[in-house]
Amino acid sequence: MQNTFTNKNLSYGIVEVQDPFWSPYMQLIRNTVIPYQWEALNDRIPDAEPSYAIHNFLVSAGLKQGEFEGMVFQDSDVTKWLEAVGHSLRNYPDPHLEKIADKAIELIAKAQHSNGYINTYYTIKRPGKQWTNLQEAHELYCAGHLIEAAVAYYEGTGKRQLLDVACKLADHIDDVFGIEEGKIRGYDGHQEIELALVKLYKLTNETRYLMLAKFFIDERGTIPNYLLEESKRRGGNSVWHDQPAPFMTSNQLDYHQAHKPVREQEVAVGHAVRAVYMYTAMADLANLTGDRELREACCRLWENIVNKQMYITGGIGSSPHGEAFTFDYDLPNDTVYSETCASIGLIFFANRMLEMERSSGYADILERALYNNVISSMSQDGMHYFYVNPLEVWPEASEKNPGRRHVKAARQKWFGCSCCPPNVSRLLSSLNDYIYTVYPEENKIYTHLFIGSEAEHKLAAGIVQLKQESRLPWEGYTRFEFTLVPEVDFSLFLRIPSWCSGDPVLKINGVAVGFDIQGGYAVVVRQWAKGDILEWEMNIEAKLVESHPKIRANAGKVAIVRGPLVYCLEETDNCSVISSISINRKSNLEVSVDSTLPGNPIVVKAFGRKDQQLSWREDIPYRAVAQRNDSQSVLVNAVPYYLWGNRGVGEMSVWVRAFDCE
């Protein structure tokens, strides 16, 4: 079927990651995380919170007696896992894993109703009550994850079973929802279906799916407000409590980004994951339909997030209350939320913005979230996870101050609400899709991420095979070798990262050459020859950074960054009261390899001071300042943020007090 809504003028190529930094992560995902998470979904992890996700499908399919257990959106943990498996199998065939996944898919298919409906919570616990509580019940959210899994699994294996389930489900949703008389004119409390339907459309070319995504986006926040009306219709009843609760009020709408039509939204509000999943779909629709208002809304919301509501680690959603955005410049480090899933959603949004506009700023943010908030969430053994990614940890406060209890000082084995671990899996197992974008008709290849890989890109001019070697994040050196080139010109665009000090050096076959810059990318147009070597040398420097004075939490503080990495101070390398350390703003930063840490990372030392505790008695909480500052000089030791918390429990801080003398 032909359609007019397409941005098929771009592709991501066929890319295999071969990178000293990232390949171990992807192996960890394949060899440890995916198997581990399968065990978790089957409740076979000792001492971890049970998932019940497979249990629910078994009960729903009539293969087991029992009740629905776990969160109302538990189904999505299975489908997010399957999506990760799909990506992984696309990159690394694995018959054993595929067999397990096929069985899971068979189970899901058995749990599908004849009309296409599928959701274990409603099937088991609330039969007949489908679609009556869109605000809370995550039915469309779960459907979205099933669709994303189906697309990935089809792309990974060519197998249609889950895709058929997904299309049947999407068709059913299309029958139930819409502006037509007799259909539900509503939308999910937790966005996800929208971006999933776009993916399904892209795979199947079925315009109905795209139009359905557009319907959900267009309806959101219109008056009369569907969610408010629905709340009244069900008498306030909640899936969380089996009893009437107060009706939803209009000031609860921004949690769901349903407080006004999406095109009118000015700033990011509400639940951060819902927000960025929606913005991703909005950008998709803007890209596919040319909707200018949507595009402008996306740009506005993007700017608001990355300029005013994002931690330096790429974390977003600063409040544990509703896992939500609060307001501009409100980025507390200690009571932080910064959910892993939210940063992953930000990466999706960045990816779609890059499709919208070839501007390196989007890739800068994508890289920042990836190298910091996202990978910090997983332990180096792949079996422990953070849901909340703090920039400051005081373990005793995490334990004893209820306002900081959500900030865990150690990664957990699994969570009752375990959305984050499978989200990391599906992102990292598809990391190869984030390195390049290719415009075949324009014969242009954009390099966004410097990750060692072998790539094949189809251009109008012909096939390009390209081998990238990268020393990131430790050195700013990347080398490209063209192993197959067409016989006409094509362009390679190389991102100039925002962290790069000075101009990068471009060498072709060993000879430095100049370059133009477009949208933050170096442009190299050339008739390439097989065996051509392009070297791209970005100057990577450890730096102290400061933050906008309106970010009160960071006043007078600096953070250490180096290339894409944010660094942090850990108790084990410094002292037990991290806040007693301050860094000289003019300090040289010394870098060295620390071979005691996983992956032999580069660590940074700065010159600083440590406030003395010796002169303080236990019974004096406050005293007149000493005339002589009795702090002692210390070397301040910083490690990459993504590695924190891999050496026992202790204090940690990204932002550190700074001092200077005039």
Name the residues that contact a second copy, by CB under 8 A: 243, 303, 306-308, 310, 312, 318-322, 326-327, 330, 332, 334-335, 394, 396-397, 400-403, 543-552, 555-556, 558-559, 577, 579-580, 582, 585-586, 611-613, 616, 618-627, 629, 657-662
Peptide bond into 473 cis (omega under 30): yes
Rounded distance, CA 515 to CA 534, Å? 12
Nearer to a second copy by C-beta: 233 or 400? 400
Which CB atom, from 376 or from 547, has the smaller least distance to a second copy?
547
Residue closer to a second copy by CB (options 387, 480) is: 387
- Rounded least distance, CB 651 to a second copy, Å: 9
Task: Say if residues 651 and 577 touch (Cβ distance below 8 Å).
Answer: yes
For residues 302 and 385, which CB has a smaller minimum distance to a second copy in the complex?
302
89, two tokens: 């199998």
The CB-based long-range contact list for 415-418 (8 Å cut-off, 24+ gap) reads: 415/49, 415/385, 415/387, 416/49, 416/70, 416/71, 417/71, 417/387, 418/40, 418/49, 418/51, 418/77
Name the minimum Å distance from CB 425 to a second copy: 29
Tokens of 325: 């955005």
Q: Closest approach of Cβ 439 to a second copy, in Å?
A: 27
The backbone region for 66, taken as left when phi is positive above 0, alpha when psi lies in -120 to 50, beta otherwise, is: left
Residue 646 phi, psi dihedral angles, 5° rounding: -100, 5
Catalytic residues: 323, 419
- Closest separation in Å from C-beta 352 to a second copy: 20
Nearest partner of 436 among 521, 506, 315, judged by Cα: 521
Alpha-carbon distance 638 to 568, whole Å? 5
Q: How many CB atoms lie within 10 A of CB 308?
A: 18
| Nearer to a second copy among residue 487 and residue 662 (C-beta) | 662
Characterise 112 by phi-psi region: left (phi > 0), alpha (psi -120 to 50), beta (else).
beta
Token readout for 164 is: 């058929």
Nearer to a second copy, 534 or 578 (CB): 578
Of residues 240 and 327, the one with the C-beta less far from a second copy: 327
Shortest Cβ distance from residue 125 to a second copy (Å)?
20
CB of 402 to a second copy, least distance (A): 4
Minimum distance, C-beta of residue 51 to a second copy, in the bound complex (Å):
23
3-class DSSP state for residue 553? helix
Of 519, 524, 563, the residue nearest 360 (C-alpha): 519
d(C-alpha 500, C-alpha 628), whole Å: 40
Q: What are phi and psi of 456, to 5 degrees?
A: -125, 125
